[in-house]
Amino acid sequence: LNSLATALPATTSVFPHLERLLLEIDSSDFNDSQRQARLAAFNSGLRQELALVQLPPSHTITLTARKGQLPITVASSSDEPVKVLLQVTSDKLKIPGADTAGTATYTMELHKGDNPLVLSVAARTAGAFPLHLTVLSPDVNLTIATSTITIQSTALSGVGVVLAVGAALFLVVWWIRHAIRSRRATKGPRPTAE
C-alpha cells in the first residue's frame, strides 16, 4: 500500500480508502468472516488500481536494420496522474542507459490514455529474442504490470557479413576448380609424342 502511495498524487482518495480497509482488518470489533471480507475488499481494490496501468500484450516487432526505434506504449485508465518506473530488459539489445545486465529504467508520469515511449536500440545479433517490460512503483517495491515483446532482428552484424562473403567466395572458387577438373576429365588423356 505504501508503494502504491508513491505512484499516486498526494490528493488521491484511493490511498485513504484502501488504508481504512487495511486497518479495519485488525480491529477487534469484527469477527473472522468480517475481517476476511475486508481483506478481500482490500485485495480487490488494490488489484483494480494496478489494472488501470497496462502494457502492450505480447507481440513481435521486426528490426530490419541493426539500429532502430522501438515504440512502447503504457496505457493508463486512471483519472489521476500515476508516477511509475518502466524497466526494459534485454541481453541482445543495446538500450540507452542500460546497466551491465541489459536493464534500463525510465521514469514516466502516466496520464489517462496512451503514454508512448520510443527507444533507440541496436541489435547485438540477428535472430529472435525477448524484450521484458516491467512497470514498477517509484520505490521499486510494487510490480504494477509486466509484458514480454519478441524482437525479430533480420540485420546481419559486421562479423556475419564477413562470414557470408567468405563462404560465398569459397563456394565460387570451389565451383570454378571443380568445373576445370571436370573438363579435363571429359577430354581424356593427352596423346604422347614419340
pTM confidence score = 0.72
Q: What is the pLDDT along the chain (194 residues), one digit of tens a residue?
A: 889 889 988 888 888 888 888 888 887 888 888 888 888 988 998 999 999 999 999 888 888 888 888 889 999 999 999 999 999 999 888 888 888 778 999 999 999 999 999 988 888 888 888 999 999 999 999 999 999 999 888 865 555 667 777 888 888 888 888 888 887 777 766 555 55
SS3 content of the chain, % helix, strand, coil (to 5): 35, 35, 30
> 103 to each of 92, 94, 96, 136, how far by Cα in Å?
11, 10, 9, 13
- β-partners of residue 147 are 133
For residues 54 and 33, is the Cβ–Cβ distance under 8 A? Answer: no
Helices (H), the chain: 2-7, 14-25, 32-51, 158-187
Torsion of Cα atoms, 136 then 138 then 141 then 145, to 10°: -10
Give the DSSP letter string of 99-110. Answer: -TTSEEEEEEEE
